[in-house]
Structure 1
Amino acid sequence: MPRLLGVDIPADRPTIISLTYLYGVGEKTARELCHKAGVNPQARARDLQEDEVARIAALLDKDYTVEGQLRRQVSQNISRLRDIASYRGMRHRRGLPVRGQRTKTNARTRKGPKKTVAGKKGVKDLR
């Protein structure tokens, strides 16, 4: 299993698909990488030679912002939004959907598992 930037990419998939397992590398970027490095995009990742893997890693370091650097940039942007108390920052802080999704129904994917709030049992109508 080849290792790029601290990530094990799947060996039994084509190189172009395996490269998309890196954070920040999509299909288009993977195609560009294969072309620039002179690697067959349809060859299996396990069939890559050491020098081909090294060329891909060098290109990723030199020309692209991926993995750790990109994750740090994203987290800095989110913390900046929290610090200036923008609407999006408040939604991040509360763990609610940020980009306009509905919260009334089926919002569990963004919000995670249901969080129980203490002292909020069924409220009875006392009229």
Structure 2
Amino acid sequence: MVFIFGFNFTEQTLVKRSLETFYGIGPKVSQRIMARFHIQPWAKVGSLKNSTVMDLTAELSEMKIENDLRREVQDNIRRLKDMGTYRGRRHAMGLPVRGQRTRTQIATARRLNKIERGGSGRVQM
């Protein structure tokens, strides 16, 4: 097991996949991090040197990921709700925010926005 930024990864896990498990790191950012530390695209976590693992952990600690990023997103949504903007009201009602069709295809949006609504069917503000 390799310990990177508070998470254990098995030796066979790809470095790219292990980096993408962190909230806020996608394919492009993981590629950029791997290129910065000269890590091959198909490298496994078990083949990394200790110094490289320490460098990766230091790099991840400087980035805004996981709980800090989640908190920032929630604060942005809360700010939109408090201002009473159109997007804030859509978030509060659990409806699509970015102009998606609601006449026939709303089930997915309601399912995805359920967390932000608070669980009950009523609108909370």
| TM-score w.r.t. length of structure 1 | 0.73
Distance 1:59 1:109 in 2: 36
Q: Cα–Cα, structure 1 residues 15 and 97, in superposed 2: closer, same or farther, change >3 Å?
A: same
What's the % identity of the aligned pairs? Answer: 35
Q: CA RMSD in A?
A: 2.8
Pairs aligned (count): 116
Partner of 1:83: 82
For the 8 Å contact 1:11–1:44, the answer to whether it is kept is yes
Partner of 1:103: 102
For the 8 Å contact 1:10–1:18, the answer to whether it is kept is no
Distance 1:36 1:5 in 2: 18
Structure 1 portions without partners, runs of 5+: 118-127
Partner of 2:21: 21
Structure possessing the higher relative contact order (Cα contacts under 8 Å, 6 or more residues apart): 2
Q: Cα–Cα, structure 1 residues 7 and 75, in superposed 2: closer, same or farther, change >3 Å?
A: farther
Matched, 1:70 2:69: yes
Distance 2:51 2:29 in 1: 20
Structure 2 portions without partners, runs of 5+: 113-118
Task: Return the offset for 1:80.
Answer: 0.2
Larger Rg: 1
For the 8 Å contact 1:15–1:43, the answer to whether it is kept is yes
